[in-house]
Structure 1
Amino acid sequence: MSFSMTQAADGLKAGPFPPTAPSVLKVEPVSVVDFDAVSYEETEVTTITDETKTTKVAKVSEMHVADTEVVDITSSSDISVSPSDNSWTKPEVSVPAVVTNEVTPVKTSTGRYFTRFDSYVPTSPPPKLSTATTVTTVAESASTVVGSGTSVSTTTAAFQNLKLGVKKSFGGAGLKHGVVQSKKLIIGIDFGTTFTGIAYGLTSDPTNIKIVKKWPGIQGRNDIVKIPTTIQYGSVNDNNIKDVDFVWGYKIKDNAERVIRGFKLGLDPAKRGFWTKAVGISEDDDMMLFHEETTMVEMERLYRSTVQIVADYLGAVYKHAIAKIAKDEMTGVLELPRQFVITVPAIWSDQAKTATLNAARLAHADMKFVSPEDLVTEPEAAALYALQSFRNRGFKTGDTFVLCDAGGGTVDLISYKITSLYPRMQVKEVVSATGAAVGSMMINNGFERYLRQILGDDVLARMKDKGGVAFNAVMREFDQKIKPYFQSAEHWDDGGDEDDDAINNIINLGITIDDDPDHNITDNNLTITGDVLEEIFDPLVTATEKLVREQIDGVKQSNGRGPNYIFLVGGFGASPYLNRRLEEMVAGESIQVLRPEDAQAAVVKGAVLFKMPNTAQVIASILPTSLGVKASVLYDSLEHTSPSAILHAFTDANEGVTRIPKMTWFIMKGAELERDDRVRFPCYRDVPLDYYPENLRFTDELQESDEPLPPKFPWEGKGVKRKCVLTSDLNGIDPGQLVRRKDPNGCEYYSVHYELVVAIRSAILTFSVECQGRTFAIANVEF
């Protein structure tokens, strides 16, 4: 069979050079060395062989002590490695500033060895051992071992210099009684659709997480866990748009006009309409769409994007919070290194998560360097807090739980399995995150729809007159004094239990209207019955029950049995009605529904725990979609037999071989990836011998599919969509290492072989390119 069509060969090609046919990349876990007080960027495993045995040595390519850059390190520190006996008996290990008297090797279920070191500096380093092999790191500062009983030592000079470097890094207070001081201030920001909160803690006291509870606009209150995610801009100075004034949170007056609410959702336009689809209401009744329209009008008036509005709000909130932290905490707290953690909904796209990062970078100079590693999904953060809250409950290895984070805007869910309890609790995902925009804001919207139904549009318009003072007061009364206490229709109408606070089921409407006994309106007061509240709550609660049930079924399918627990957190998660409905749903299934005491603050406190040492950690995630690229592969007459395949086959102009476009999926939906594992996809492109810089700027389009079995070919593209476009710049590679080829006409060209590298973080995928042993950052990611 012959193919007359010929194509230029500068496109993306997958796999090895012909004639070897490419195969789908499989996930290969990378051996990792884990330090309690050391961060690393990448590890490389080297095999060292002597006359009697082979030892694996991990080379740390970039090292920081306590995440603080080490200075004044000599560039000639030799690190020698000596094979010892084959047992795990406390070998003498010395790594600069990270030396231990206790070495605990832990072999995980995947066969990885994690060697843990306490962060103590001995009074004097051990003598240098005889050199079997010298291992030099990129920073030429440290190395350690993976495997059986290998010991590492350093020269005295290098060790002393590193101690001086650490001391200088901490402003002269780095070493105290021989201990590395790695204290940092961790700040968690839970930027919510309806409310926002900030928590913080010091790494020296990882379980003592505090919340900023005093906010402007409310006098005499020190118990405000969260503030409204609202902003109001003043008049615009046409000569200086950037300096437009605004107020935020509780500073906004009840009768204020042009208040922007729900603007967080503008970061993920793809979710527009989730509110209506989730509970089956019309767009006319969807208050979120109304808020979006208000936001759009204001954005046009202010010449501001959603990212800029979010940045304005976050900047103001953070500026107040950091001043409050400085006032309440010890002297010098602001001199400590700071790390930020920002929460994002699990169901958001990577585009929306990236937009959140961009907003944070614009918000304040302190946050200009936040990165994907500083994002955590809301359910993961909540799970960390729940595990911390219930740590004395007697968890066992193998226990599973569903985390339901029911907030103001969204309900996010995820399921985990406890894989280890000691020395640090570790969990892994067993069901990937799901969710929908069915948060408690929709209950407020439901109440407003009820008011329109019984009062009519004219009366409701009167309530919204004069800045909406009457309407806002009614909504605030419902939100703060009715919604949080509703447990059931019977309980509500009976006035609650004896031990309950008195139920307030009467709201003054704030305007004069006729009595209406049919709708329980007397003397301008509205009495709200339990049946009405159930009608308002039920669409959201039913949608949440469905989401929880899907997670339970997923746990059963993955684990062979249902979960042990359901952890219910978030503002809506504190609802007694939702809690009771979930308990009734799982009655008889041996599943406990648990709510932490501070359920509303679970996400923001968990965000801080995410960066704390020795607290619970998530070690593996489930991929919700398949990821791959469209690349040309060698034509296989036995495999590519369909008419469509034959139609799309072409002759490569450079190689003179027949190729065919094919989807190459290098991460499959449902795959389990350990955190910081890197998935590599081998590719190559052809460039001329006299290439220009632009010839080494490659653009690769990453595709995703949520189908259980993604298609093999681009023309079968059902369920396939573009995830992002990655632009990489490989200028700087060594042309002497490039593969030199000839086309059928004898003309020479280069083949540039490289790997697309994907790594999974808590909340987002990160990308890089590796070529000739070097890592190249992605120049641009376009969603």
Structure 2
Amino acid sequence: MGWNILKSKKAVSRREAEATIEVYQPARKPVVTSTPPPAYEPPNTNFFQIPATLLNEQARAEAPPPPKVIEPVLVVGIDFGTTSTGVAYAMVTDVNAVETVITNWPGANNSNIKKIPSVVWYDADGKVIGWGKDTAFAEASAKAYKRDESERRSFEASYYKLLLENWDPTYEDFRRSIRLPPNKTALDVASDFLTEVRKVTEKELIRTFGEPRFKKLQREARYFLTVPAVWSDVAKSATRQAAVNAGFVDSMDNPKLSLIVEPEAAAIFCAKRDVYHFETNDVFLVVDCGGGTVDLIAYEVEDSTPSSFLVKEFTTGTGAVCGSVLVDTHFNDLVKAKVQYLLKMNIIDNKMAANIRRRCRKEFPNIKHNFKNDPNIDFTVETGVAASHEGLNLFDGDMTFTPEEILMAFQSSVSQVVSLVHDQIRQVQDKGKFLKAILVVGGYGSSSFLFASIQQAVPQRYRSCVLRPKDSVAAIVNGAVVTGIFQDVLKSRVARRHYCMETVEDFIPGCHRMNYMEEVNGKKKCKYTQRHLVKKGQEISIHDSITIPFFREISYNSSRIFTDKLYTCDATELPQYVVDPGMVYLTDLVTDLSAIGWDQFQKTEVNGKTLYRIYFDIVLAVDGGNEIKAEFVFNSDVRGKVNCKF
């Protein structure tokens, strides 16, 4: 899934500074008709149904030729999550390659686990002393630290991934509660964690293929790293940087590393692995419930033929920071309140309080997974302290939590997830379609209570098609690898936000604000104006690009390094000026034309002054809405990359 904007044809050169933007639109767009959608048919819940057409003689006669054997390519998928992480891989010679999930992790005591906690422990010097499941030494050190925080011996970093998203205001409340080790940024911790993941991955691959063969495969290996669908381009860039720092690839623009949004990975896995049998024109919704974020996107099947299976995004992806960490936070607040009361009543001391908090935190994942809101089932945690208080359900160190208390921990998260599901259903039905299936995936998606809550909250017609695919926890990491195996399964994405470029336009009285007027080379101009590049909700084909014409007029020996500002906006309508509320600065696009000689530019006289006119294009690829990359074109030739400085 490399990025090649202009490989087969060159951009057209233009000499008009005010030329319009050329946006390559997909040939086909979803058509909304006024006729009612087809009658709803209950979905087939047989996850392993074999299409009948494959069993008859005609299908065998029409079957495509056997897949062509190619040079083996190693594909590695990394599902880097807020609370847990998994890795899978496949040796790809044709589309029959099968993914393998790594289950042998340090500290797992020989138990096969598909995901490990995304935690890192540091000593006082900032050295990694534990990570994932391999944290026994670090946790023992933590128990020994004294009340004086300056004498603390170890530091745990968790939920740090959410800090890679640094400007979305919806994260702000939770961001303030996340603590990082001294002198460490979120990018540092993410890089350290992924470094350890890479080391274990390489050991597993060497054990599987042998070191000589792995070293050969490693040179052309392709990596697919998952990111939340709702993340900004800034957060995606930071995630890519963490993977580079960890040593998966050697540079930010290395095409062997691709980012894939989590619902997309799950959708491709479910579709290509026949988790659910889809027909052409079917629409299905993926609800990816992770540790930090919950992401939702509906997809439409454009072609259900096995040999050319093709899907496209049908709705604008939505999501929020309402994953399992929100449930954890509310539960921890409950435990904290109980502990503070016990301290106030002198029933326990600080060491006992720390033990209670630690034991409750350790046991809560099991409680969370098994909770079904059964009024007859309580949950008890052995805290290891010799204390009792009847009012707090603490008896000889056993602290009991009622179903009502656990329900309160879930309430905020579940209500937000249900609201997001309703919004996606509305988007689908507004386009004249009904959902064929609602697929609940991700680690948090394995929660019995969350699944039942979604099932009960959707309209009656959809309740039978709310499904949790087998091995839903590993669906995303498997999907990352399946994406690498099949490549062109996704045709197009729907832009989640507006993109625009800051411009300086000719000032038009009555149209532009007077206080934004400025004089440039004797001409009245309006600053802060914008050029709309991508509209929110616009369908963007995976290989589409946007050609933006630029014009500069400079004196001899002036700098030929030009900077243009790119902005985004999540609002429905794009404001007129880049300084208006709702506009968010995204990045500088830096174009360096220093290598182009002055004799290549147009020489002109303006008010008795010799100036040089420079015409060039920036070809902007948003990877179908996934990542932003750019090249610049001069005289119809691609002359270099445009740096995106986030």
Q: TM-score scaled to structure 1, two decimals?
A: 0.68
Distance 1:684 1:663 in 2: 15
- What 5-or-longer segments of structure 1 have no aligned partner? 1-14, 32-103, 105-115, 121-178, 277-285, 496-503
Residue 473 in structure 1 maps to residue 337 in structure 2: no
Give CA deviations for 1:736-775 in whole Å, capped at 9, x if unaligned. 44333332x3434221111122112263121222221222
Matched, 1:484 2:359: no
Aligned amino acid, residue 603 of structure 2: R
1:409-488 matched pairs, under 5 angstroms: 409-422=292-305, 423-459=307-343, 465=351, 468-480=354-366, 482-488=367-373
Inter-CA distance 683–483: structure 2 relative to 1 (3 Å threshold): same
Q: Which amino acid aligns with 1:738?
A: F
Between the aligned partners of 1:463 and 1:564, the Cα distance in structure 2 is 56
**Correspondence 1:768-779 to 2 at 5 A:** 768-778=631-641
1:649, CA displacement in angstroms?
Answer: 4.7
Contact map agreement 1:361 1:370 (CA 8 A) in 2? no
**Alpha-carbon distance, 1:246 to partner:** 2.7
The match for 1:505 is 379
Q: Deviation at 1:687? A: 2.1
The one of 545, 562, 572 aligned to 2:444: 572
1:607 paired with 2:471, answer no
Displacement after TM superposition at 1:30 (Å) = 8.7
**RMSD over equivalenced CA pairs, Å:** 3.0
- Aligned equivalent of 1:729: 592
State whether residues 463 and 469 of structure 1, in contact with CA within 8 Å, keep that contact through their aligned partners in structure 2: no
Q: Distance in 1 between matches of 2:530 and 2:312?
A: 29
CA contact (8 A) 1:265 1:271 kept: no
2:71 — aligned with what?
A: 182
1:397 is matched with 280
1:709 correspondence with 2:573: yes
State the AA in 1 paired with 2:370.
Y
Structure 1: distance between partners of 2:425 and 2:349: 44
* CA shift digits 1:626-683 (9 cap, x unpaired): 2222223345xxxx34174456455652xx6654443211222221110121111111
| Residue number in structure 2 paired with 1:531 | 404
Q: Secondary structure at the match of 1:374?
A: strand
1:342 to 207, 219, 225: 225
Choose which of 517, 520, 543 in structure 2 pairs with 1:676. Answer: 543
Q: Does 1:28 align with 2:27?
A: no
User: What is the distance in 1 between the residues matched to 2:597 and 2:309?
Assistant: 45
Tell me, yes or no, if the aligned pair for 1:664 and 1:712 is still in contact at 8 Å: no
- The alpha-carbon distance between structure 1 residues 265 and 555, as it changes in their structure 2 partners (threshold 3 A), is same
Distance 1:299 1:371 in 2: 31
Give the aligned residue type for 2:552.
R
Give deviations 1:117-172, integer Å, cap 9, x for gaps.
Answer: 9986xxxxxxxxxxxxxxxxxxxxxxxxxxxxxxxxxxxxxxxxxxxxxxxxxxxx
- Cα deviations across residues 39-86 of structure 1 (Å, max 9, x unaligned)? xxxxxxxxxxxxxxxxxxxxxxxxxxxxxxxxxxxxxxxxxxxxxxxx
Report the alpha carbon displacement of residue 367 of structure 1 after superposing the two structures with TM.
Answer: 5.2
Counterpart secondary structure, 2:425: helix
The amino acid that maps onto 1:683 is F
Amino acid at match of 1:568: V
For residues 751 and 599 of structure 1, what CA distance do their matches in structure 2 show? 58
Aligned to 1:194: 83
Please give the alpha-carbon distance, in whole angstroms, between the structure 2 residues aligned to 1:648 and 1:525: 68
Question: CA–CA distance in 2 between the matches of 1:272 and 1:459?
Answer: 35
Match of 1:17 in 2: 16
Aligned equivalents of 2:262 and 2:490: distance in 1? Answer: 13
Report deviation, 1:585.
1.4
**Which deviates more from structure 2 when the two are superposed, residues 772-781 or residues 410-419?**
772-781
Deviations 1:443-501 (A, max 9, x none): 22222222233343554995873894553233222212x211112334xx2x5xxxxxx
Equivalent-residue separation in structure 1 for 2:297 and 2:381 (angstroms):
38
User: Relative to 1, partners in 2 of residues 1:673 and 1:445: Cα closer, same or farther, differing over 3 Å?
Assistant: same
Residues 590-629 of structure 1 aligned to structure 2 (within 5 Å):
590=462, 592-613=465-486, 617-629=489-501
Alignment equivalent of 1:760, drawn from 607, 622, 626: 622
Which residue of structure 2 lines up, in the alignment, with residue 49 of structure 1? none
Task: Mark the CA change 1:370 to 1:627 in structure 2 (over 3 Å): closer, same or farther.
Answer: closer
CA contact (8 A) 1:255 1:466 kept: no
Q: Check if 1:379 corresponds to 2:263.
A: yes
One-letter amino acid of the structure 1 residue matched with residue 551 of structure 2: Y
Q: Does 1:642 align with 2:642?
A: no
Give the residue type in structure 1 aligned to 2:638: T
Aligned partner letter, 2:357: F
Alignment partner of 1:686 is 2:553: yes
Q: Which residue of 2 aligns with 1:270?
A: 167
From 189, 196, 214, the equivalent of 1:309 is 189
Alpha-carbon offset, residue 777 of structure 1: 3.7
**Mapped contact 2:630–2:643 kept (Cα < 8 A):** no
> Partner residue of 2:56?
none
> Which protein shows a greater Rg?
1
Report how far residue 524 of structure 1 moved.
Answer: 2.4
Aligned-residue offset at 1:437: 1.2
Number of corresponding residues: 573
TM superposition shift of 1:204 = 2.4
Aligned residue for 2:388? 514
CA distance, structure 1, for counterparts of residue 404 and residue 374 of structure 2: 6
Deviation at 1:578, TM superposition (A): 1.0
Q: Work out whether residues 212 and 325 of structure 1, in 8 Å CA contact, stay in contact via their aligned partners in 2.
A: no
What is the identity, as a one-letter code, of the residue corresponding to 1:260? A
- Contact map agreement 2:106 2:133 (CA 8 A) in 1: yes
Deviation (angstroms), 1:271: 4.4
Contact 2:240 2:252 survives alignment (8 Å): no
Using a 3 Å threshold, how does the CA distance of structure 1 residues 511 and 370 change in structure 2: closer, same or farther?
A: farther
1:664 aligns with 2:549: no
Query: Which amino acid in structure 2 is aligned with residue 473 of structure 1?
Result: R
Partner amino acid for 1:542?
S
1:703 aligned partner, one-letter code: Y
**Alpha carbons of structure 1 residues 597 and 256: separation in structure 2 relative to 1, 3 Å:** farther
Q: Percent identity, aligned pairs only?
A: 25
SS in 1 for 2:182: helix
Letter in 2 for 1:265: L
Please report how far the alpha carbon of residue 275 of structure 1 lies from its aligned counterpart in structure 2 after TM superposition: 7.1
Which residue type is aligned with residue 625 of structure 1? R
Once the 2 structures are TM-superposed, how far is the Cα of residue 546 of structure 1 from its aligned partner?
Answer: 0.8
Q: What's the offset of the Cα at 1:245?
A: 4.5
Cα distance in structure 2, aligned partners of 1:758 and 1:770: 11
Match of 2:116 in 1: 227
For 1:274 and 1:663, the matched residues in 2 are separated by 28
Give, in whole Å, the separation in 2 of the partners of 1:233 and 1:467.
23
User: Quick one: which amino acid aligns to residue 311 of structure 1?
Assistant: S
Q: Secondary structure at the match of 2:133?
A: helix
Query: 1:444–1:583: structure 2 CA closer, same or farther, 3 Å change rule?
Result: same
Residues 441 and 719 of structure 1: CA distance in aligned 2, closer, same or farther (over 3 Å): closer
> For the residues of structure 2 that align with 1:731 and 1:270, how far apart are their CA atoms?
33
Matched, 1:738 2:622: no
Question: Where does 1:225-304 land on structure 2 (aligned, <5 Å)?
Answer: 225-236=114-125, 244-253=127-136, 254-257=139-142, 258-271=155-168, 274=171, 276=173, 289-290=176-177, 292-293=178-179, 295=180, 298-300=181-183, 304=184
Per chain length, whose mean CA-contact separation is higher, i.e. which structure has more relative contact order (CA < 8 Å, sep 6+)? Answer: 2
Q: Which of 427, 440, 443 in structure 2 is aligned with 1:554? A: 427
The 2-side partners of 1:560 and 1:641 are apart by: 44
Matches within 5 A, 1:41-60: none
